[in-house]
Structure formats: structure tokens, C-alpha cells
Amino acid sequence: MSDDVKNNSSLRTNFRTVMLRPDLGAIVGVILVFLFFFLVARDTGMFSLEGSMNWGIVSSQFIIIAVGACLLMIAGEFDLSVGSMIGFAGIVIAVTSVVWGWPVWLSIISAFAISMAIGALIGYITISTNLPSFIVSLAFLYILRGLTIFIAIISTKKTIIGGVTEVAQDDWLAPIFGGEIFTGVFQWLAEQGMIQTFVAGTKAGQPVVSGIPMMMVWALGLIVFAHFLLTKTRFGNWIYASGGDAQAAKHIGVPVNRVKILMFVFTAFCATVFATTQVIEFGSASADRGVLKEFEAIISVVIGGALLTGGYGSVIGAALGAVIFGVVQQGLFFIGVESSLFRVFLGVLLLLAVILNTHVRKLITGAK
């Protein structure tokens, strides 16, 4: 009898634990999204290797910026300048390498250094003025976008700067962002007839998917790094604490300001990874790149179960949120639905996620 009660209560505890996982909603969401498109779009080639690569790459792009936004949101802050930072970092790379003739590796490293310094500045202003980061980073959304267009115009009289592919030809750093790995494996698989090959054109005989793009590798790497940092290290504990209750964390001796500023720097790092992979892939930088990306990152994070108020969330959840984003956006294209409906879907999903998260928060904190 008492054993029964014990089992029952431990069962309930487990159930509760599962229910309170921050990423539960995103896990269920991913399953539903895949189930839906598998039923509807099976015959469209969406789940062929080539099709999967398509939504896989789009998802990876969302993941890269969502991971940064996720840690920052858990630390209790927002960065609305992510999209502008993407445009800015891209133009910095293109101007320094193509126009000024710097080696591409130096351009890339400079872009990272400048972006991360600006990230630190946004963090520093937020901390020292005590203003909401929402407002401070909104200011930088405009400042950076304006500077990006200004720099592009005065140096080339254009807002799109091409020619990066040519200067990046023999660079050692560029392939880390724009290359592919496992190309040998894919070539071999194609020779074995396990991957389709192009039948005509200049690429005839080559596999339709020639390797895993570095963008996917970055996405995966950032997920592993951020998840590990957040859940397994003492610094991760400080991230939760800084967002959960900054005052209480300060009282106990957590360097809250340093944690928050570092998270702004990390967000800028992620935005620059995104920018660099795009510049190397397209061979050009455009001053209007990255528009609205900050919101897409935040939406992925919220779908992933993080609380807008900070202190709670999951990197895995944010990544799954980004996958939902990517799969639905590309899936609608595969099934030929008007792509404007994607935004309707997104708005509804965001609303549902926030309502669910607020409810979960009440369950955890015991608030009525």
C-alpha cells in the first residue's frame, strides 16, 4: 500500500518534471511539424536528401542566431541589433577585403573583433544606464544599419559589394565559414549510386548534395557549446541567476554585470558567424542583409520555451524552435502554399508559445 503511494508520487514527480521541461513545447512542435509535412509533402521531394538539405540549411541559419539570443534572454536581456549586426559585419568583411585589399582572414577576424566590441558596448551601456536592453539595442538596430549603408555607399557607391569569392579563393579562414565537409563521403556515396548525381550541365556526374555545409557544422557546434555552458558549468549557473533575479545574484557574489556583457558579446559573435557564412557563400555582402533576424531569433527562443523575463529556458529548445521555423518556411514552399501565410502561422505560434510559457512559469514559481 505505502509502496503504491510512493510509486504513484514518484510517477507524478516524473510527470511534473517532464511537464516542466522548458523545451517540451518545442519537442512536441517539431514532431507535429514533421508529421504534418511528412503526410502532406512526402511526394514533393521535401524529405529527399536534396530537399532535406534545403530546409536543413535554412534551419541552421535560424539556429546560429537563436543560440546567441537564447543565452542572452536567459541572462535577462534582449538584443534587437542582431539583424543590423549581420548586415554590418558582412559589409565590414566585403569592404576591407574587396575594396581595401586586406587578406580575407584578416577581414573576417576584424569583423568579429568589431562586432564583439560593439556587443560589449551595448551590454556596457545597458548595465551602466540601467535602461532596458530592449531600448539600448533598438538604438543600435538603427545606428548599425545606418552605418552599414553609409560605409557601403561611401566606399563603393553601391549597397551590394561583390567579388568576395575571387579574393577568398586561397584564403585559409574562409572555408571554415563557407566550405563543406565530408565531400569525399558524399562523392563516394554518389559513386555507389546511393546519392543522385546531376545528369547534365557543368556539374554532371557530381552528387546533388556534395557535402555538409559549414553553416550546419557551426549551428551544431554552437548548440553543443551553449547547451554545455548553460547546463554543465558554473558560468551557466550564473547565466540563470543573472536573469532569474539579478539583485539576489549580486548579493551572493555573482558577477552579474560581467555575465550579461559577455552574453551580449556572444550574441554579436553568433550574428557575425551568420554574416560571414553568408558573405563567403554568396561571394557578396549586402547592406540590407539580416533585416528582421533579431525577431526571428527571439521567436525561435520563445517557441523553445524560454521566458521573456529571463532566468529560464533551454538551448535545445531554442534550436528546435529554429528548426520549426526553417521546416515550416521551406515546407510551405514545397507544398506550394502562398508564402505570406508563413508569417500568419508564425504570429499564431508565437502567441501560443508565450501563453504556454507563462502558464509553465506559474507552475514552477507557485505564483497564482
Contacts with another protein, residue ranges (CB under 8 A): 13, 17, 20, 232-234, 236-238, 240-241, 244-245, 247-249, 251-254, 307, 311-312, 361, 364-367
Strand, helix or coil for residue 197? strand
**Residue 2 corresponds to which cell in the numbers above?**
505505502
Residue 179 or 255: which CB sits closer to another protein? Answer: 255
**Considering just the CA atoms, what is the radius of gyration of the chain in Å?**
22
Q: Which is nearer to another protein, 84 or 357 (CB)?
A: 357
Asked whether the beta carbons of 164 and 93 are under 8 A apart, the reply is yes
- Choose between 198 and 235: whose C-beta lies nearer to another protein: 235
DSSP category for residue 12 = H
Nearest approach in angstroms of CB 301 to another protein is: 16
SS (H, E, C) 241-261: HHHHCHHHHHHCCCCHHHHHH
- Distance CA(321)–CA(296), nearest Å, equals 10
CA–CA separation, 340 and 208 (whole Å): 29
Phi, psi dihedrals of residue 75, rounded to the nearest 5°: -75, 0
**Contact between 90 and 289 (Cβ < 8 Å):** yes
Quote the CA–CA distance of 9 and 11 in Å, as a whole number: 5
Q: How far is the CB of 308 from another protein (least distance, A)?
A: 13
Q: Which is closer to another protein, CB of 195 or CB of 307?
A: 307
CB of 16 to another protein, least distance (A): 9
Q: By three-state DSSP, how is residue 286 classified?
A: strand
Cβ contact 319:66 at 8 Å: yes
Q: How far apart are CA 189 and CA 148, in angstroms?
A: 43
CB 114 within 8 Å of CB 92:
yes
CB-wise, 256 or 299, nearer to another protein? 256
213: which residues sit within 8 A by CB, 6+ positions away?
Answer: 53, 57, 60, 179, 180, 281
Work out how close the CB of 172 gets to another protein at its nearest, in angstroms, rounded to a whole number.
25
Nearest approach in angstroms of CB 273 to another protein is 21
The CB-of-297 to another protein minimum distance in angstroms stands at 22
Alpha carbons 12 and 36: distance in angstroms, whole number? 31
Minimum gap (Å) between residue 248 Cβ and another protein: 5
Q: By C-beta, is 82 or 127 nearer to another protein?
A: 127
Of 139 and 356, the one with the shorter C-beta distance to another protein is: 356
Least distance from another protein to the Cβ atom of residue 251, Å: 6
Toward another protein, which CB reaches closer, 157 or 234? 234
C-alpha to C-alpha distance for 243 and 310, rounded to whole angstroms = 5
Our CB check for another protein shows the closer of 67 and 254 to be 254
Closest CA to 274 of 67, 26, 50: 67
- Closest approach, Cβ 237 to another protein, in A, equals 5
